[in-house]
Structure 1
């Protein structure tokens, strides 16, 4: 057996610590490089979808479809799903109903890969909506816009369509996903860019993606920001609304019901990673056999929102008003009630004035 003195042990430990100190930055650098590559590819996919949309509808999508009565229906990210390759999600959206209506809540709660960047703790809002880390050009994508690429007077290479933002992220389904470019990247949460990268990518209107550093001259960004056509302040106005978000995940639990019934019932809990639930939603879906499901383009259950349970919900009364009462036995209903109450007890209590 070879024994080392305390001095020798100290030297070995020191070497290991030094190696760790040298390797950790390299590992972090590699991770960020991979995230940059992913984000650049995301923007290319978004650009391709925008081109597909223009080819189909002759214009870029409206930044947001807003009714005359002020009701916001959909934003450009949601409209793009119809043009993003083989995406099955667009078939599940009711484009005649608002993005946050009961009919569209299951889709608005989806995590869309092309709208996210790995490693950023902004997966979902505290209200359960999937987030995006990108925003659009307010001169091209605004309220009820119908801008075509042919209208870009300076040529497509001198206009930008979208880019990564530094903070104040919004749900991808939100109908107001645009913001001004500003004169500097990585200049606070309302700016564009990723501070950890020292800049950010912009998707140009010609489909290319370019990285701009946070030291880019303001004159260059101003030229992009003011390239005509320029929308009016009224067209680009957005509600004064902020979303809280974090590193959350949805967890699914199937409720008990008659296996021969027309429907199944599903609970989805939004929870902090390794933490307690902060939101409980109950859904229904058609009870489809595996054989029939295999023939569908979208293999998952098409969920329909039933109700949201908060800390004050009378669960028994709420469930009595749904079809679950008729499609489950008395024992199954009581088991479901017990389960939901046990989850409800973990919810944060509402603040009292």
Structure 2
């Protein structure tokens, strides 16, 4: 496969920001253009074909996370919406607690903090230690109802041992929720192997899709614990039977989709995921880890740069974060602006600079590009 043709990036850019917003492959842009043209010329004359693409996307997402059934896959607007469906679907009791980490993106913290008025305690584990999983598990007790964690921390790039966390939750009858936005599309993921009850992730980062569309996986037994918060024609068992007076919620995860789907986003994300299936997630993961390792080795060898991301095997994915000695947060924010102005597309995270190459990223000559900007 000619990846250069799939990713015809402008030559003046060194794009290292897939942990924020990924680059669309050519096939995705073409799918969106074709769908727009169809709408312009034929309206919804081909709507039945649109539904086939929607089913195809659900199948691709099932395979991407190794869900047990396509019925476990719902399409949400974003990670925050999916997490809110969980937070406000569960029947909390005063005194219940939730365990998460102190490195979470706000989406995986604020939603749980909002339950304080219901008497639910949020416990933040300090995972900046040698054994971050042990730090999380130490906060669990008989009142812990749910453990929610990012598969890869957005700032430091720390990759969590989901198998260990999930097995503990499974054994202790604790619900296990994974924010996989920094995993899906970058490294292989197995919802069944890690005993995940819920998995949430937007498609616009490593999955190289559009904003406004996310996967929301729920294991059937866990799904049944969520009270519905939204209602409409699309979430009923007999969706499309508009004359029916009686209705019941869909048994499948579609029950969390109240109205019309984001069909434009569906066409885009489906096209993006077709690339991953064509390449193979094993090859994608190897490419991501190879590039992350290459960046970390170079940064670690530079005396004035401090690597924040752990470099041990199994502890990193695609995120590489570093700090420059002598710079405070404001200094790193200024450095970030300079890098962006010079075409190094990155992010200002964890008090430093976050780089996030993908499997197709061309890092030839990146040292010559970066070093002068860091002096």
Instruction: Give the TM-score of the pair, scaled to structure 2.
Output: 0.27
Higher helix share: 2
The structure that has the greater radius of gyration is 1
Question: What's the TM-score, normalizing by structure 1?
Answer: 0.28
